[in-house]
C-alpha cells in the first residue's frame, strides 16, 4: 500500500456543519408532525437521499414525507448560513499544508451538492488545496455506496488502495471502506462502534492528528 492521495469528506470533517444540519432536520420534521429525534437525524449523515425516506419510514411511520421535510429543512439551513460564518474544524489547514508540502494529491468526496460544497470551501479558503471535487448528488449511488470514492480515485489517477479517505460519519466510512481506501475516521458527532472499528485503518481525534498517523503508520511514496 503506497499512499499518494488523500480524499476528504467535507461536512463534519472539514467544517463544523453537521450539528446545524442535525438540529434543523429535527426541527423541520417535527414541525411537519414527524417525531424525529437526534438519533434519527444522525443516521442520515452522508446518506443517499433516495435511501433516507424509506429508512425514516421504518422509525417514524409509513406517512413520513422526506421531500417535504427536506424542503423546509433547506430553507432553515440556507437562512442560517446566510448570516453565520462557517466554522472550520481544528487542524484543517495544518493538515492541508502538510499534504501540499509532501506532494500528496488532495480531493473532496462529499454528499453535499457541488455548488454548495464549492461555495463553502471557497468561503473558508480551502478550495485551492483541492484538485477535484466529487458530489454524491451527481452519482447514481451516493454514500454509503463506494461509487463516490471509486470515481474520485479514478479522477486522481490512483487506485483506491493508494488513497487515504478521511471521514467523520458511519455512512462515509462504509463508502470509503467499500471502495478499498485506507480509511481514517475523524469522529464528529459519534464515535466508531465495533462495526466501524473493523473498517478503519485508524481513528484520529483531530485533523492535525492525521499527520502523525501518516508519518508513523502509513507507507509513504
| Predicted confidence (pLDDT) per residue in 152-203, tens digit | 999 999 999 999 999 999 999 999 999 999 999 999 999 999 999 999 999 9
Q: pLDDT tens-digit profile of 52-74?
A: 999 999 999 999 999 999 999 99
137 and 78 together in one domain: no
Rounded distance between C-alpha atoms, residue 167 and residue 23, angstroms:
21
- 154 and 186 share one domain: yes
pLDDT of residue 168: 98
Q: Are residues 122 and 24 in the same domain?
A: no
**C-alpha gyration radius of the chain:** 17
Rounded to an integer, what distance in angstroms lies between the CA atom of residue 180 and that of residue 119?
A: 29
> Same domain for 26 and 130?
no
Q: Residue 5: what pLDDT?
A: 97
Residue 124 pLDDT more than 70?
A: yes
Residues 104 and 76 reside in one and the same domain: no
Question: Over the stretch 81-112, which tens digit does the pLDDT of each residue have?
Answer: 999 999 999 999 999 999 999 999 999 999 99
Query: Residue 219: pLDDT band by 50, 70, 90 thresholds?
Result: low
Same domain, 30 and 129: no
Q: DSSP 3-state assignment of 165?
A: strand
pLDDT of residue 40: 97
pLDDT on residue 37: 97
Q: Are residues 100 and 153 in the same domain?
A: yes
What is the average pLDDT value for the chain, to the nearest integer? 95
Which CATH number goes with the domain that contains 133? 3.40.50.1000
| Domain hosting residue 50, numbered range | 18-83
Same domain, 190 and 100: yes
Query: Given a cut of 90, is residue 220 above it in pLDDT?
Result: no
Q: How many domains does the chain have?
A: 2
Give the separation between CA 220 and CA 209, rounded to whole angstroms.
Answer: 17
* Of the residues 33, 68, 83, the one at which a domain ends: 83
pTM score over 0.85? yes
Amino acid at each position: 500500500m503506497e499512499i499518494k492521495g488523500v480524499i476528504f469528506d467535507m461536512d463534519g470533517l472539514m467544517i463544523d456543519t453537521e450539528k446545524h444540519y442535525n438540529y434543523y432536520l429535527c426541527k423541520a420534521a417535527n414541525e411537519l408532525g414527524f417525531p424525529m429525534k437526534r438519533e434519527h437525524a444522525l443516521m442520515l449523515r452522508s446518506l443517499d437521499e433516495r435511501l433516507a425516506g424509506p429508512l425514516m419510514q421504518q422509525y417514524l411511520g409509513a406517512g413520513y414525507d422526506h421531500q417535504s421535510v427536506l424542503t423546509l429543512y433547506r430553507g432553515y439551513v440556507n437562512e442560517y448560513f446566510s448570516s453565520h460564518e462557517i466554522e472550520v474544524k481544528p487542524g484543517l489547514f495544518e493538515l492541508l499544508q502538510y499534504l501540499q508540502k509532501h506532494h500528496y494529491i488532495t480531493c473532496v468526496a462529499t454528499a453535499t451538492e457541488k455548488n454548495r460544497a464549492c461555495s463553502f470551501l471557497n468561503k473558508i479558503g480551502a478550495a485551492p488545496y483541492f484538485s477535484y471535487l466529487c458530489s454524491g448528488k451527481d452519482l447514481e449511488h451516493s454514500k454509503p455506496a463506494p461509487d463516490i470514492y471509486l470515481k474520485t480515485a479514478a479522477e486522481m489517477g490512483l487506485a483506491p488502495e493508494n488513497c487515504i479517505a478521511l471521514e467523520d460519519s458511519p455512512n462515509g466510512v462504509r463508502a470509503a471502506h467499500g471502495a478499498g481506501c485506507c480509511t481514517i475516521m475523524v469522529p464528529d458527532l459519534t464515535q466508531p462502534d465495533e462495526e466501524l472499528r473493523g473498517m478503519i485503518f485508524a481513528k484520529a481525534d483531530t485533523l492535525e492528528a492525521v499527520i502523525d498517523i501518516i508519518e508513523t503508520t502509513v507507507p509513504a511514496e
